[in-house]
Structure 1
Amino acid sequence: MSMAQGVVLGESKAVEKWFYKLPHAKQKVTKFRFYFHDIVSGKNPTTVQIAQSNMTAKSPTAFGFVSMIDDPLTVEPEPNSTIVGRAQGIYGSADQNEVALLMTLNFVFTTGKYNGSTLSVLGRNPLFHQYREMPIVGGSGVFRLAQGIAAAKTYSLNTTNGDAIVEYNVKLLHYHDI
């Protein structure tokens, strides 16, 4: 099959057909929960720091560090729980006054009814707030043109090694019956 910018040309016709039907589509509200496992320690970390500024080590908020992530998403908070996908992207400390991250990532679903679909998140994550919400700015597959909120709540944080488990409650609008 021919490829154009990573898309199989036959599949791009299916997307074109999908967009043609879009004016007649209904929006659907979808809600679900999963757990994000951000592992920075040990032999197989899922998060690695890729950059920092000269002042990061002196900053009380670690301002200026940037990390690349490929974190598992699970059904329950236990590390051996069923994996439903991965959180892949970049986050960095973007606030000089409080610990707050700029999150740019995709939730990539690898099993179940959302298998092969993604949600894109771009937003501010003030880590020590009990409730944080970040906008969902798009998606693919089942979630084409999705918009919504990814609400985060820390389930556990190991202050010694930095590993964290975060509960995400997602609420989004997307199209169906196309």
Structure 2
Amino acid sequence: MTKLHFYFHDIVTAKNPSAIQIAQANNTFQSPTFFGLVRMMDNPLTVNPEPNSKIIGRAQGIYGSASFEDIGLLMTLNLVFTNGKYNGSTLSILGHNQIFHEYREMPIVGGSGVFRLAKGIATAKTYQVDNTTQNAIVEYHVVVLHY
């Protein structure tokens, strides 16, 4: 069992965004939940919440607004570790993320390298969000069982 703690930086509005919109439905922006909005991400994972904190990896994948009733994202991503003893290893997440709930959990459905045959849970808590820019910093705690 391995426990990890890091921060996920979702930068939508900046000179060099880490998450970009790749699709939307014709009526996405008339929906109160932005249903149909899809973004591709390559977000930095850092040791501390500050953007200039040490980078330990990237969250690479896709998320989309998949709920008519609340802002609930379908998240499919790989946590790609690029530094330290997990360098070259990945964890795969596939789950539902209700971003306005204080505490969210998503399943770890696999992994590679050190995390071969992984299963576990990733919990997310918003550390900081700017509703105007949609940029967010999210604190993650991961508990994973692996070979």
Task: State the TM-score bracket (shorter-chain normalisation).
Answer: over 0.9
User: Does residue 91 in structure 1 map to residue 63 in structure 2?
Assistant: yes
Count of matched residue positions in the alignment of Structure 1 and Structure 2: 147
CA distance in 2, matches of 1:159, 1:75: 24
C-alpha separation between the residues in 1 aligned to 2:27 and 2:133? 22
2:113 pairs with 1:153: no
Match of 1:78 in 2: 50
Aligned to 1:100: 72
Give the distance between the partners of 2:102 and 2:8, measured in 1 at CA.
16
* Distance across 2 between alignment mates of 1:97 and 1:160: 21
Residues in 2 aligned to 1:166 and 1:39: alpha-carbon distance in whole angstroms: 11
Return the letter of the residue paired with 2:69: N
* Separation of aligned partners in 2, 1:144 and 1:172: 10
Larger Rg: 1
Structure 1 length-normalised TM:
0.82
Give 1:62's aligned amino acid.
Answer: F
Residue by residue over 1:133-159, the C-alpha shift from the partner in whole angstroms, topping out at 9 and shown as x without a partner, is 000000000000100000000000011
The equivalent residue for 1:66 is 38
- 1:34 is matched with 6
- The alignment yields a C-alpha RMSD, in angstroms, of 0.4
Partner of 1:5 in structure 2? Answer: none
CA distance in 2, matches of 1:160, 1:132: 22
Q: CA deviation at 1:42?
A: 1.4
1:48 aligned residue = 20
TM-score, normalized by length of structure 2? 0.99
Please list every run of at least 4 consecutive aligned residues from structure 1 whose deviation after the TM superposition is greater than 4 angstroms: none
CA distance in 2, matches of 1:124, 1:91: 10
Q: Distance in 2 between matches of 1:70 and 1:103?
A: 13
In 2, the alpha carbon distance for the partners of 1:159 and 1:83 equals 25
Instruction: Could you tell me which runs of 5 or more consecutive residues in structure 2 were left unpaired when the two chains were aligned.
Output: none
Deviations 1:60-86 (A, max 9, x none): 000001000000000000000000000
Sequence identity percentage: 69
